[in-house]
C-alpha cells in the first residue's frame, strides 16, 4: 500500500493486515470454510447484472482479494473478463495462483481505492462493477462516498454497480451516496443481519 494514503487501512484499530503474506494466507484458509454461506448472495448479484450471461462483458471487482466473487462471475458469464482491483499485492499473488484455470480472463490492478485517483489506474469503462466485503474496510463515510463518485464514470451506460458488504456505514446512507453519485434505481436487493447486497444502474 502506498504511503501517505488517506485510507484508514493501516489504522492501529484495524485488525486486518492485508499486506502480510501470512495474514492473507491464514485469512483465505479461514474464509474457504465460510465460502458456502456467500454463494446465494453471489448468485443474486450475478443475476442482477443487467446483461445476458453469454455476453462478453467486462467486470471490475473492487477489493477482489483472492477472487472469490471474480471466480464465481467468470463461471456464470463464460465470455466475461474481470479486472481485479485490490490494494494488496499478497492478495493478488494468491488470486493469480487460485484462478490459474481462468488465465487470460482476469488481470489484477494494484490500487488503493481510498486514495482519490485510483479510478484512473483501472482500464474502464465496465458493464458491471462489483465488490464483496471490501469497501467497509475504509472506515470513513466521506471516503466511501468519494469511492462511489469515482466509480460512476467507470460504468458504461446501461451498466451497474453492485456491492455486497457489511452494514457499515448503514446501507440506507450508502444508497443515498450512490444516488448522489448519479446511479438510478438504487436499491437493496437482499440483506441479513450482517451483510447486504445493494447497488444501482447507469441509464442506458
Ligand X SMILES: C[S@@+](CC[C@H](N)C(=O)[O-])C[C@H]1O[C@@H](n2cnc3c(N)ncnc32)[C@H](O)[C@@H]1O
60 lies in the site for ligand X, by CB under 6 A: no
CB 90 → ligand X: shortest distance, Å?
8
> Among 156, 195, 194, which residue's Cα sits nearest to residue 183?
156
**Which listed residue (73, 134, 181, 196) binds ligand X by CB under 6 A?**
134
Q: Which residue has the cell 447484472?
A: 49
199 lies in the site for ligand X, by CB under 6 A: no
The 3-class secondary structure across the chain, one letter per residue, is: CCCCCCCCCCCCCCCCCCCCHHHHHHHHHHHHHHHHHHHHHHHHHHHHCCCCCCCCCEEEEECCCCCHHHHHHHHHCCCCEEEEEECCHHHHHHHHHHCHHHCCCEEEEECCCCCCCHHHHCCCCEEEEEEECCHHHCCCHHHHHHHHHHHHHHEEEEEEEEEEEECCCCHHHHHHHHHHHCCEEEEEEEECCCEEEEEEECCC
CB 101 → ligand X: shortest distance, Å?
17
CB 172 → ligand X: shortest distance, Å?
22
106 lies in the site for ligand X, by CB under 6 A: no
Q: Which is nearer to ligand X, 114 or 151 (CB)?
A: 114
Q: Which is nearer to ligand X, 13 or 52 (CB)?
A: 13
114 lies in the site for ligand X, by CB under 6 A: yes
Contact region with ligand X (CB under 6 A), list: 52-60, 80-88, 98-106, 191-199? 80-88
CB 119 → ligand X: shortest distance, Å?
12
Q: Which is nearer to ligand X, 113 or 177 (CB)?
A: 113
68 lies in the site for ligand X, by CB under 6 A: yes
Which positions touch ligand X (CB under 6 A)?
Answer: 7, 9, 18, 63-65, 68-69, 86-88, 91, 112-114, 132-134, 137-138
Amino acid at each position: 500500500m502506498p504511503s501517505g494514503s488517506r485510507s484508514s487501512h493501516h489504522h492501529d484499530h484495524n485488525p486486518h493486515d492485508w499486506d502480510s503474506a501470512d495474514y492473507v494466507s491464514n485469512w483465505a484458509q479461514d474464509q474457504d470454510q465460510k465460502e458456502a454461506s456467500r454463494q446465494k448472495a453471489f448468485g443474486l448479484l450475478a443475476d442482477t447484472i443487467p446483461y445476458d450471461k453469454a455476453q462478453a462483458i467486462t467486470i471490475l471487482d473492487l477489493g477482489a482479494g483472492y477472487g472469490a466473487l471474480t471466480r464465481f462471475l467468470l463461471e456464470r458469464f463464460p465470455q466475461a473478463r474481470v479486472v481485479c482491483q485490490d490494494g494488496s499485492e499478497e492478495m493478488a499473488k494468491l488470486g493469480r495462483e487460485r484462478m490459474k484455470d481462468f488465465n487470460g480472463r482476469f488481470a489484477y490492478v494494484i490500487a488503493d481505492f481510498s486514495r482519490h485517483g485510483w479510478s484512473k489506474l483501472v482500464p474502464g469503462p465496465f458493464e458491471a462493477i462489483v465488490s464483496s466485503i471490501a469497501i467497509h474496510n475504509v472506515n470513513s463515510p466521506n471516503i466511501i462516498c468519494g469511492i462511489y463518485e469515482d466509480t460512476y464514470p467507470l460504468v458504461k451506460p446501461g451498466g451497474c454497480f453492485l456491492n455486497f458488504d457489511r452494514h457499515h456505514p448503514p446501507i440506507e446512507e450508502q444508497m443515498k451516496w450512490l444516488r448522489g453519485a448519479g446511479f438510478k434505481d438504487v436499491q437493496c436487493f437482499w440483506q441479513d443481519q450482517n451483510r447486504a447486497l445493494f447497488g444501482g444502474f447507469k441509464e442506458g
